Amino acid sequence: MERAELDQALLKAHEDKDSAELVRLYTLAGDQAEAAGNIDAACFYLTHAFVFALEAGQPEAKELNRRLAARGRAHPLEL
């Protein structure tokens, strides 16, 4: 997904209060930033994905926490 398209999708998901889509899109943005070698941006997006996953009780929270902890951006949690 192109950056501009991703940004628009994120805005729509926020407007719709669609937690599952926010987790998916922020994870995608994190994956793209990581692939581009921008770890700070990747962790920024993954942190957002993690928070929305926690709030919604989504199972993705565990993997997102693991990824952030591996980068020193979170403490590993027992989820």
pLDDT tens for residues 5-58? 999 999 999 999 999 999 999 999 999 999 999 999 999 999 999 999 999 999
Per-residue confidence (pLDDT) for residue 14, from 0 to 100: 98
pTM above 0.85, yes or no: yes
- Tell me the C-alpha distance between 19 and 4, whole Å: 20
Per-residue confidence (pLDDT) for residue 79, from 0 to 100: 75
- If we measure between CA atoms, which residue out of 78, 62, 19, 68 comes closest to residue 45? 68
Query: Terminus-to-terminus CA distance in the chain, angstroms?
Result: 30
